[in-house]
Amino acid sequence: MKVDKAIIEQAPEKASELRASQVYKENLEFWHQAWNMCTKPYTKMPDLEYLPWIPDTLRTKNIHKVLDLGCGSGWLSVLLAREGFQVTGIDVADHALDLGNQWATMEDLKIKFDVGDLGDLPYEDNTFDAVVANSIIEHLPLSLALVAMTKLKSIIVSGGTFIGCFDKVGTGPGEYFKLEDGTQVYTDKSRKGMMLRYFPDEELKEILGGWKIDEFKTLDSGTRFVVAHT
Ligand SMILES: C[S@@+](CC[C@H](N)C(=O)[O-])C[C@H]1O[C@@H](n2cnc3c(N)ncnc32)[C@H](O)[C@@H]1O
């Protein structure tokens, strides 16, 4: 859908209505339950073509402090901490962060893990040099994605970097209903409550409207690897 001026202006109000809704509570509950099923940290790095590009890009931009958005149990936080970046990971699921802390302890890495909702990021202005967002924005309805992207611009320093990996989602089997912005809310047993929204290229460029896009690469899998700065 066209992300016009009216949609952008209405996003904060829509996002706060959404965050107060039952459907959103069930979405967060899905993530808590999914993570609560993991009893110990899964300490393998995923096999992703673009994975080495993330630290490489951060290094070329002389980045030190990085926020890992929707970090889950922290593989990307761990990867970046191993490379010497000062990393904070944030996720809504406290148990995922416990697992991340256990992994960091095993490797003697210092990573700060914060519990929080991406719709209400708890950071002061200019806290980070960069933000990485892997497979997370597509779990946010449009209004929340717009609110989060706007907030990110203030919590990173001027000229700071955003690296996002946006998957091609929502085309597989599953039962769901749709919110007015096209977000799929799953109703089948294994994913009950989970929200998923495909952001087409044009929309991604629109939600990154206030950012300068350095790189926009589409991989064979359909994942878009995007680097931008303020
Ligand atoms: C698909 S997983 C991706 C995790 C990790 N970034 C990765 O690449 O493996 C999505 C993560 O986002 C978290 N999450 C979903 N909605 C969130 C929200 N509104 N605020 C914070 N975290 C959220 C979930 O708990 C989950 O860990």
Distance from the CA of 70 to the center of ligand 1, in angstroms? 4
pLDDT-derived band at 18, boundaries 50, 70, 90: very high
Q: CA-based Rg of the chain, rounded to a whole angstrom?
A: 17
- What integer is the mean pLDDT of 70-77? 98
Q: What is the pLDDT of residues 173-194, one digit of tens each?
A: 899 999 999 999 999 999 999 9
Q: What is the Cα–Cα distance from 212 to 230, expressed in whole angstroms? A: 6
Q: What is the pLDDT of residues 31-67, one digit of tens each?
A: 999 999 999 999 999 999 999 999 999 999 999 999 9
Cα–ligand 1 centroid distance for 26 (angstroms)? 14
Distance 96 CA to ligand 1 centre (A): 9
- According to the model, what pLDDT value does residue 171 have? 85
- Does 209 score more than 90 pLDDT? no
Of ligand 1's listed atoms, the one at least distance from the Cα of 35 is 25
From 23, 31, 54, the mutation candidate for ligand 1 (largest count of ligand atoms within 8 A of CB) is 31
What is the atom index within ligand 1 of the atom nearest the CA of 34?
25
Q: 137, 199 in Cβ contact below 8 A?
A: yes
Tell me how far apart the alpha carbons of residues 151 and 119 are, in angstroms, rounded to a whole number. 9
Could you tell me the distance, in angstroms and rounded to a whole number, from the CA of residue 62 to the centre of ligand 1?
26
Would you say the pTM of this structure is higher than 0.95?
A: yes
> Which residue's alpha carbon is at the smallest distance from atom 12 of ligand 1?
70
Tokens at 61, concatenated: 């931009």
Q: How many domains does the chain have?
A: 1
pLDDT digits (tens, 9 = 90+) for 112-170: 999 999 999 999 999 999 999 999 999 999 999 999 999 999 999 999 999 999 999 98
CATH code, domain carrying 105: 3.40.50.150
Q: What is the pLDDT of residue 114?
A: 98
Domain of 64 in residue numbering reads as 5-41+50-229
Where does ligand 1 bind, in terms of residues with CB under 6 Å? 31, 70-72, 75-76, 91-93, 96, 117-119, 134-136, 139
Take atom 11 of ligand 1 and give the residue whose Cα is closest.
Answer: 70
Q: Which atom of ligand 1 is nearest to the CA of 165?
A: 8
Which residues, 6 or more positions from 162, have their beta carbon under 8 angstroms from its beta carbon? 130, 131, 133, 152, 156, 208, 211, 226, 227, 228, 229, 230
